């Protein structure tokens, strides 16, 4: 099977050198797992292509330590900030107000930039960071001559909403003034996330569509005991991080409650951010249904995705990449609040016959969920054609394209940036 490859380099390490190129990846991580998983995939791919380099991920993810990283990759965790379902932010753990937390994050990011002195910086999604926390670091990086890249997922939000958000915070100016490159981790033929923004002549020449980021099975670790139903064909149900995934899980469980004849069993993975109360209630219902089992959190979800016959998911960027990478028939139930990102992606992918989409009427305010409607979709899902049969060219070229785009900066055995020689003495 062509998808059974590992995503980490082998045990042999190249000789360490303090003079080799360095990459810093910024991931603000305020909700779910999407940002850190995307950054991890890029970091592991870069050190696989350029084993002599060093990569540091600066992240606010509370679960970053659960993930595997390749040799040459490490991370600095900044204090976490939570994005609530209504779009507002607050500290995750600290007993500080938001302003003090952002100030602390800003200082840590700046110090990492001063000490690590990267040659390439990849900023995930937020051009100036959360609440502008990246601006001081970006100023230093510009003075030091680093190559600064903005990495964007295929869909951000509705153009009007994105324009207003970025205009208010100053991110629009950063596209033209700060960034050397803008990588869109998708295909132009599927969606153009920056279309409709004003003054496109200032940044459109910087945009490179890479294709989606292909995922692979993680390298071996001590054996993991998965539930018994994974020994045969099963449906994997994943709401991503789980913080906003209760609706799709409830709908799937209610379908099995209403229709015991659904052919394939399902494994439901709750995700690390689902509340304990929700998880307990779902677990009690699942225990009464022989065709359902559950897991709390699996950081190596790729292992389960690879085993599964088909997938039910909310349709975040990373899950979508995994569905494409492991070529799984998929039913996407996208959220529509607080952003339309998942719905836009799912509808476009449905048009291209990559996946099937089923909208949650309760989330959109159209009425209650019909268990039999989900049951019908679960009956049909195992017979759906896999995404590869849609024959979309260059669909999964993202990681090698990023590596080639950065080759001039990373392929040399020693750092080729003049500023790097004396930058540690400067602020």
Q: Strand pairing partners for 90? A: 82
Residue with the bigger pLDDT between 155 and 339: it is: 155
Strand partners, 382: none
Does one domain contain both 203 and 65?
Answer: yes
The pLDDT, as a whole number, for residue 3 is 42
Q: Where are the alpha helices (DSSP H) in 210-364?
A: 246-258, 276-286, 301-307, 317-325, 341-351, 361-364
Are both 272 and 417 inside the same structural domain?
Answer: no
**Taking CA 406 as the corner, what is the angle to CA 402 and CA 408, rounded to the nearest 5 degrees?**
150
Q: Encode pLDDT of 175-225 as tens digits.
A: 999 999 999 999 998 999 999 899 999 999 999 999 999 998 876 555 567
- Its sign, for the CA torsion 294, 296, 298, 302, is positive
288 and 361 in a single domain? The answer is yes
- Tell me which residue of 385, 382, 386 sits closest to 263, measured CA to CA: 382
For residue 354, being part of any structural domain is answered with yes
Residue 31's pLDDT is 58
Residue 13 lies in a domain: no
User: Computed over its alpha carbons, how large is the radius of gyration of the chain?
Assistant: 22
Same domain, 232 and 337: yes
* pLDDT of res. 12: 59
Question: What are the strands of the beta sheet with 22-27, ordered from one edge?
Answer: 73-77, 54-59, 22-27, 120-124, 147-153, 181-185, 207-209
**How many helices (H) does the chain have, and how many strands (E)?**
14, 15
Query: Is residue 204 domain-shared with residue 232, that is, in the same domain?
Result: no
Banded model confidence at residue 86, pLDDT cuts 50, 70, 90: low
In a domain, 359, yes or no: yes
In a domain, 3, yes or no: no
Q: How far apart are CA 229 and CA 232, in angstroms?
A: 6
User: Within this chain, do residues 28 and 125 fall inside the same structural domain, yes or no?
Assistant: yes
Same domain, 411 and 298: no
Strand partners, 266: 235, 292
Bridge partners (DSSP) of residue 295 are 269
- pLDDT (average), residues 248-277: 93
Cα-to-chain-centroid distance, residue 253: 26
Q: What's the burial of 107, exposed, middle or buried (CB within 10 Å: 0-12/13-18/19+)?
A: middle
Count how many domains the chain has: 2
pTM above 0.75, yes or no: yes
Q: Are residues 273 and 156 in the same domain?
A: no
In order of 264, 301, 306, the CA distances from 393 in angstroms are 31, 26, 22
In-domain check, residue 299: yes
Q: Which domain holds residue 271?
A: 228-390
Tell me: pLDDT of 398 over 90.
Answer: yes
Whether residue 192 is found in the same domain as residue 232: no
**Token pair of 283, please?**
């677990």
If asked whether residues 246 and 310 sit together in one domain, one would say yes
CATH code, 59: 3.40.50.2000
CA dist 7 and 157 (Å) reads 30
The verdict on 385 and 400 lying in the same domain is no
Q: Do 196 and 244 belong to one domain?
A: no
Which residues, 6+ apart, have CB-to-CB distance to 17 below 8 Å?
52, 413, 414
**12 located within any domain:** no
Q: Which two tokens stand for residue 11?
A: 């045990």
Could you tell me where the beta strands, DSSP code E, fall in 201-279?
Answer: 207-209, 235-238, 266-269
More confident residue, 12 or 28: 28
* Phi, psi for 331 (deg, rounded to 5): -115, 120
> Which runs of E-coded beta strand occur in 134-278?
147-153, 181-185, 207-209, 235-238, 266-269
SS3 59: strand
186: three-class secondary structure by DSSP: coil
| Residues 123-144 pLDDT 10s | 999 999 999 999 999 999 999 9
**Residue 2 in domain:** no
């Amino acid at each position: 099977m062509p998808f059974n490859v590992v995503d980490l380099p082998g045990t042999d390490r190249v000789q360490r050198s303090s003079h080799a190129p360095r990459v810093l990846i910024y991931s603000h991580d305020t909700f779910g797992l999407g940002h850190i998983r995307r950054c991890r995939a890029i970091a592991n791919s870069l050190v696989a292509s350029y084993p002599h380099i060093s990569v540091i991920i600066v992240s606010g993810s509370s679960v970053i330590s659960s993930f595997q990283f390749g040799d040459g990759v490490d991370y600095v965790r900044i204090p976490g900030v939570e994005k609530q379902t209504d779009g507002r932010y607050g500290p995750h753990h600290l007993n500080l107000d938001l302003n003090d937390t952002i100030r602390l994050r800003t200082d840590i990011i700046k110090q990492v930039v001063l000490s690590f002195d990267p040659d390439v910086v990849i900023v995930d999604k937020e051009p100036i960071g959360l609440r502008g926390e990246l601006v001081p670091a970006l100023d230093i990086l510009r003075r030091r001559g680093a190559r600064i890249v903005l990495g964007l997922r295929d869909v951000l939000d509705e153009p009007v909403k994105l324009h207003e958000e970025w205009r208010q915070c100053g991110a629009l100016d950063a596209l033209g003034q700060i960034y050397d490159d803008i990588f869109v981790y998708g295909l132009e033929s599927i969606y153009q996330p920056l279309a409709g923004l004003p003054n496109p002549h200032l940044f459109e020449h910087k945009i490179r569509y890479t294709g989606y980021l292909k995922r692979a099975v993680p390298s071996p670790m001590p054996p993991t005991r998965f539930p018994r139903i994974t020994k045969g064909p099963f449906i994997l149900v994943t709401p991503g991080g789980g913080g906003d995934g209760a609706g799709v899980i409830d709908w799937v469980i209610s379908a099995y409650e209403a229709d015991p004849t659904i052919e394939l069993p399902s494994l439901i993975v709750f995700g690390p951010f689902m509340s304990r109360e929700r998880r307990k209630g779902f677990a009690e219902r699942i225990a009464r249904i022989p065709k359902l089992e559950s897991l709390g959190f699996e950081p190596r979800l790729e292992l389960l995705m690879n085993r599964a016959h088909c997938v039910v998911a909310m349709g975040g960027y990373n899950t979508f990449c995994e569905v494409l990478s492991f070529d799984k028939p998929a039913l996407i139930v996208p959220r529509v609040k607080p952003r339309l990102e998942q719905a836009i992606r799912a509808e476009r992918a449905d048009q291209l016959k990559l996946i099937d989409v089923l909208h949650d009427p309760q989330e959109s305010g159209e009425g209650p969920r019909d268990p039999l409607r989900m049951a019908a979709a679960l009956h049909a899902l195992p017979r759906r054609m896999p995404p590869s049969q849609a024959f979309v060219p260059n669909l999964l070229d993202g990681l090698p394209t990023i590596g080639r785009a950065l080759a001039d900066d990373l392929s040399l055995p020693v750092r080729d940036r003049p500023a790097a020689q004396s930058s540690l003495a400067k602020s």
